[in-house]
Structure 1
Amino acid sequence: MIRAILFDKDGTLTDFRATWEPWMAGMIHELADASGADPEGIAEDFGFDLETGTIPPHARFVTAPGYVTVDLVARRIGWDRPRLSGWLGPRSSSVSQVVVPGAVAVLHRLATAGFTIGVLTNADEAEARRHLDHMGAQTAVSRIIGHDSGFGAKPDPKGAANFADALNLAREEVLLVGDGMTDMEAARGAGLPAVGVLTGTLDRAALAPHARAVLPDVTHLPDWLAKQATSAA
């Protein structure tokens, strides 16, 4: 029986493409102007297709923690990490997170129903807290684990495993919900069941082999959980 649920943030509680794609092209061209570097090269390092204005499914911007991408771009443009981080910080912080409609209500509904709710993200913990607070979701969430919380970044399974162990739950009692392969791999490595959602960059065919179910978005999760509980009874 599922007793706790660990959610990814970007692409799971938020719509990844709707949040980031409208911002990326302008940011890349602005950075190219500021640094004198080639915008196509910067886009390649971020993992953004300037021609189509889209983020490819397995782009670095999707899969890697932010510092990895920052280091790569910084080397290309000849800046150090603090300078680029200082340039990017206020710009990325100003991006409005496009929350999946109904996602916050689902978190509160699940918490009220007795599930322990956590968030496991490759964003830094402080950023995740700000986003969840702005969304109105933080009071439903018992724990937030970022890439800098001491367990590494997904697909490293240590954060997922620690979430289960800290609750004294068996691994199969903790469900991981995410939109990407790093989520699926973290779940598998930690021995957690996984459910995929389609509000990120991957499609059903990519997620299905690695998940117990693939749902359109997190608002379908309560019904799925209810069906699992009924079938187990």
Structure 2
Amino acid sequence: MSVDALLFDKDGTLFLFEATWESWAHAVLMRLTDGDLDRARMIGDDIGFDVDSKRFQPTSVIIACTPTEIVSQLRRHVAYSAEALETLLNEEAAVVPQVEAVSLAPFLTQLRQRGLKIGVATNDAEYPARAHLDAAGVTGLFDFISGYDSGHGAKPAPGPCLAFATATGVAPDRVAMVGDSLHDLHAGRAAGMKTIAVLTGIAQADELAPFADIVLDDISHIPAWLDSEEG
């Protein structure tokens, strides 16, 4: 078997990106502006989010950056300390409804039954990440969960990927990093891992393909890909 472990991104991979984070961005902007729609539109334009249509631009800072980086951009518009603003973002993130890309519990159980180690490496904070996985009832199925604040760094640096390999005792070249963004794929490649791109985020197939061993519509196609690798 050429793959012994799978490391998943969270947003846009395990959960549909647009269906969840568009609601979060709108809620954050309305909270920061006390419901002032004109101010919310102005800040939204700066961070790549259309408040009226509730849609992200492909280059939005929200898509792949960490909360710390998002805070830096938002602080140009609001009188919050960095700590208070990051707390607000994480509070809203922890309660935003998540839409699973596939039914996660049976899918992840199937992977574990194959003897695979599985983990999550997200650029979200670890606390809301665990809240999302708890809500889906799948936290206990993972061998490793890392947020940008877990001490391993953030993607596209390879730190979270290498930490997963160390934690599970699986050589990086026997791991596949699964994600919907270039940050995910660059991190996996930098760690010496295989890379699987999925199309449940914002990025398109032609953008991801040069950095992926395979591009799949969603994570449900991974078992068939594993079978082909074994063959």
| Structure 2 length-normalised TM | 0.91
1:1-233 alignment to 2 at 5 Å?
Answer: 1-33=2-34, 38-50=39-51, 52-230=53-231
Query: Identity of paired residues, percent?
Result: 36
Q: CA deviation at 1:196?
A: 0.4
User: After superposition, what is the alpha-carbon deviation per residue over 1:7-35, rounded to whole angstroms, capped at 9, x for unaligned?
Assistant: 00011000000112234335423422368
* Residues 166, 101 of structure 1: alpha-carbon distance in 2 compared, 3 angstrom cutoff: closer
**Code of the aligned partner of 1:108:** T
CA distance in 2, matches of 1:166, 1:157: 14
* Residues 25, 133 of structure 1: alpha-carbon distance in 2 compared, 3 angstrom cutoff: closer
User: After superposition, what is the alpha-carbon deviation per residue over 1:188-215, rounded to whole angstroms, capped at 9, x for unaligned?
Assistant: 1111110000111011111111101111
Query: In structure 2, the residue corresponding to 1:96 is in which secondary structure?
Result: coil
CA distance in 2, matches of 1:163, 1:88: 26
Question: Aligned residues, how many?
Answer: 230
* Residues 224, 165 of structure 1: alpha-carbon distance in 2 compared, 3 angstrom cutoff: same
Q: Please list every run of 5 or more consecutive structure 1 residues that lacks an aligned counterpart in the other structure.
A: none
Q: Please list every run of 5 or more consecutive structure 2 residues that lacks an aligned counterpart in the other structure.
A: none
* Residues 126, 137 of structure 1: alpha-carbon distance in 2 compared, 3 angstrom cutoff: same
**Code of the aligned partner of 1:8:** D
Q: CA deviation at 1:75?
A: 3.0
RMSD: 2.1
Contact 1:155 1:186 in 2 (8 A): yes
CA distance in 1, matches of 2:222, 2:83: 40
Contact 1:106 1:222 in 2 (8 A): no
Larger mean CA deviation between 138-147 and 77-86 belongs to 77-86
